[in-house]
Structure 1
Amino acid sequence: MSNQGRIRIGISGWQYPRWRGDFYPVGLPHVRELTYAAERFSSVELNGSFYSLQRASSYRRWHDATPEDFVFAVKGGRYVTHLKRLRDVETALANFFASGVLHLGRKLGPFLWQLPERVTYDADVLDAFLAQLPSTAGGVAALAARHDAKVADPFFEPADPSMPVRHAVEVRHPSFKTPGFYDLLHARGVSCVLADSAGRWPALDVVTAPFEYVRLHGHTELYTSRYADRTLEQWADRCRSAASAGRDVYVYFDNDAHGHAPHDAMRLADALGVLAAGYPD
């Protein structure tokens, strides 16, 4: 059906030594790990961008190492979310967007903005931040052009300036569990991340955008536990329901501590009958 949403199942990051010899075959060159993962998933969450500005050449390399239909979710920098706490971030956002994200081209998926647990809901601060987030690749380029000298090799030339750009916000303080927060996201078309964190942080299951963004950090033990078959079936039902309503769904497994993430992601994809390309089998 033309209004059927698309489901993408993936992993949060792909460079984990513990996965070598388990998910990754023994002897697989480290530079081939992204390609190997991209043959099994339709998306990955790029989380190195959270810790520091990445090089434009890295984004280009990641683009070239993945299939045409692959998508990267890009995690926003912690300088914006954790250090600046969303305040006075125009230059920080410009630097982030100028660092090379547009090299991903059509493979650029949602930007994830994860707030730390200590940040509480402030409607004015959040609305001012959301107002700065570009909704098109052309908007990304326009903001990126205001970068400063911290970006050594800026790149902000969109292949298609009209390409839509999506954003999702993950919060970790219970003060965000309020209609005002959901209304702000809805007004900007920003997705409220549904995070499963073994009860550590709020699980906000509220639709605020034409797409849904799910992060599975571990159902019974944060970052560590394996997902049971029954729990994955419940998530599969959740994904089917959203897709049937016409919403795209992005699901990323972050229970990587014992290497469960890629295996659980493949099990969920199998339960949904989703191929690597992200289409129903």
Structure 2
Amino acid sequence: MGEILVGTCSWTDRALVGSGWYPAGRRDAEGRLRYYAERFPVVEVDSAYYALPAARNSRLWAERTPEGFVFDVKAFSLLTGHPTRDSAMPGGLPAGHRDPKVLDEVWARFTEGIEPLRTAGRLGSVLFQLPPWFRPGRRTGVFLRECAERTAGWPVSVEFRHPGWWNAEWAGATRALLARYGMTAVAVDMARSLPGSVPPVTPVTSRRLSVVRFHGRSPAWGTGSKEDRFRHDYSESELTEWLPRLHALAARVDQVHVLFNNCCGTAAVRAAETMRRLLDTSTPRSPAG
């Protein structure tokens, strides 16, 4: 039975920092991370999506967390086909420029930034969250092949935001595609009645790792502000329904990362705490259906 590590998709989210969850004396950069790592064994570095990670920060993160703590690093936006601000680019490089040398430089900077985590054995996964306009088909297949070449030797996980990847027509091909490159399929929990809802499937495409990201069940997914999209307080019953799936994943892989992305105030850390308690007191059993 593999380990199930539970955490959140950020420890620096502004709403969390301002919520009072971090106690007095633990609210500086070092104190926050150490406090978080005393309570959870895994965290997602969401800031790497918005700005290229710095090697110095990665070294400090490894130094400030206990042995066994791991970081799932979200890939920089340009590397996943998302719009990227010019101000986030290194050395004044233009985000919209098509010169392959620009992309090469961004890959090099990203690789350099996460290398201290890899060297320290603290890199849980690099998450490639693909945008909803990446539909099933040859284009994304080519993208993943090129991504696999760039990330050889890395632990990689992939989250599809277009629901078509997991419908009856494409699910088998999607599993095979990710398995071919040794990439982990990311399962998601979200509102299930929206046109863009991704179904709560839990395919295993790598024996090493499975990742489940809980986005909340806001009906404003895909619209409105960040707070509107991710505002959701998970009930105990909503989390309990996932227990059979999580135990089933743990029976097939070495490690499962359960990450809460409903980052509004303390909602994510409270949900993570509840999920850990439920897992600690539940009996592994097969999911219904």
TM over 0.5: yes
Equivalent position of 1:102 in the other structure: 115
Structural mapping, 1:195-206, within 5 Å = 195-199=188-192, 200-203=196-199, 204-206=201-203
The alignment-based identity, stated in percent, is 29
2:215 counterpart SS class:
strand
Shift of 1:48: 1.0
Equivalent position of 1:18 in the other structure: 15
Question: Which amino acid in structure 2 is aligned with residue 112 of structure 1?
Answer: L
Equivalent position of 1:120 in the other structure: 135
Q: What do residues 191-239 of structure 1 show as CA deviations (whole Å, max 9, x unaligned)?
A: 1111112134313432211121111010355411111111211222222
Structural mapping, 1:172-187, within 5 Å = 172-177=161-166, 178=170, 179-187=172-180
Conservation of the 8 A alpha-carbon contact between 2:145 and 2:181: no
The structure-2 alpha-carbon separation of the partners of 1:235 and 1:175, relative to structure 1 and needing over 3 Å to count, comes to: closer
Question: Which amino acid in structure 1 is aligned with residue 12 of structure 2?
Answer: Q
1:29 counterpart SS class:
coil
2:204 counterpart SS class:
coil
Counterpart among 211, 214, 217 of residue 216 in structure 1: 214
1:193 counterpart SS class:
strand
Equivalent position of 2:223 in the other structure: none
The structure-2 alpha-carbon separation of the partners of 1:111 and 1:245, relative to structure 1 and needing over 3 Å to count, comes to: same
TM-score of the pair, normalised by structure 2: 0.76
Structural mapping, 1:1-281, within 5 Å = 4-19=1-16, 20-31=18-29, 32-81=31-80, 82-83=82-83, 89-99=103-113, 101-104=114-117, 105-123=120-138, 124-136=141-153, 165-177=154-166, 178=170, 179-199=172-192, 200-203=196-199, 204-210=201-207, 211-221=209-219, 222-273=229-280
Question: Which amino acid in structure 1 is aligned with residue 177 of structure 2?
Answer: L
Question: Which amino acid in structure 2 is aligned with residue 175 of structure 1?
Answer: G
Question: Which amino acid in structure 2 is aligned with residue 253 of structure 1?
Answer: F
Q: Which is worse superposed, 114-123 or 47-56? A: 114-123
Q: What do residues 227-255 of structure 1 show as CA deviations (whole Å, max 9, x unaligned)?
A: 11112112222221211234410111010
Conservation of the 8 A alpha-carbon contact between 2:33 and 2:65: yes
Shift of 1:61: 1.0
Shift of 1:95: 2.4
Shift of 1:26: 4.1
Unaligned runs of 5+ in 2: 84-94, 220-228, 282-289
| Root-mean-square deviation (Å) | 2.3
Question: Which amino acid in structure 2 is aligned with residue 168 of structure 1?
Answer: S
Conservation of the 8 A alpha-carbon contact between 1:224 and 1:258: no
The structure-2 alpha-carbon separation of the partners of 1:259 and 1:236, relative to structure 1 and needing over 3 Å to count, comes to: same
The structure-2 alpha-carbon separation of the partners of 1:201 and 1:92, relative to structure 1 and needing over 3 Å to count, comes to: farther
Conservation of the 8 A alpha-carbon contact between 1:9 and 1:251: yes
